[in-house]
């Protein structure tokens, strides 16, 4: 719990962007990562951190429930993202796509990863939490790897 406590202290009061894998770990209760992501979700629920994600992350999360036609999980996913005063889901406009293109050109990230980063930057997020080692920190956005906070 010491590493999770350090993470929560670090991100307290900050805008945090949740990558799709973060959300999938939470929904699927994927161990060993569920312990870390659940604590961050609780902090978001308590408004001690301010959670953001993008429409593309929501779409990535919803693929499996739609594929399996699991109506309960589909409803659970939709309800999660509609909760008020909890998590801000951002759209991806042309300016965000332009920034994503620039990030891809400058860093070599996959376009989908660059789109997530551009969305986070546009929202003023300080941290981006993921387990994807292909996503790179920038001067304005620090990438935090979930695996680094396992106790």
CATH 3.40.640.10 fits 2-149, yes or no: no
- Report pLDDT digits (tens) over 24-56: 999 999 999 999 999 999 999 999 999 999 999
Quickly list H helices, 46-93: 55-68, 71-82
CA distance 134 to 143: 10
Domain boundaries, the chain: 2-149
- Report pLDDT digits (tens) over 83-111: 988 999 999 999 999 999 999 999 999 99
Residue positions counted in the chain: 151
Cα–Cα distances in Å, from 115 out to 32, 79, 105, 128, 145?
A: 27, 24, 12, 12, 18
């Amino acid at each position: 719990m010491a590493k999770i406590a350090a993470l929560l202290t670090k991100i307290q009061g900050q805008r945090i962007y949740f990558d799709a894998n973060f959300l999938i770990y939470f929904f699927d209760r994927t161990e060993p990562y569920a312990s870390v992501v659940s604590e961050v979700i609780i902090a978001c629920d308590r408004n001690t951190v301010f959670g953001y994600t993008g429409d593309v992350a929501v779409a990535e999360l919803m693929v499996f429930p739609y594929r399996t036609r699991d109506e309960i999980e589909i409803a659970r996913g939709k309800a999660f993202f509609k909760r008020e005063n909890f998590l801000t889901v951002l759209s991806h406009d042309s300016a965000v796509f332009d920034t994503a293109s620039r990030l891809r050109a400058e860093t070599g990230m996959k376009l989908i990863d660059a789109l997530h980063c551009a969305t986070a930057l546009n929202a003023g997020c300080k941290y981006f939490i993921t387990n994807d080692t292909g996503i790179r920190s920038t001067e304005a956005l620090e990438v935090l790897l979930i695996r680094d906070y396992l106790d």
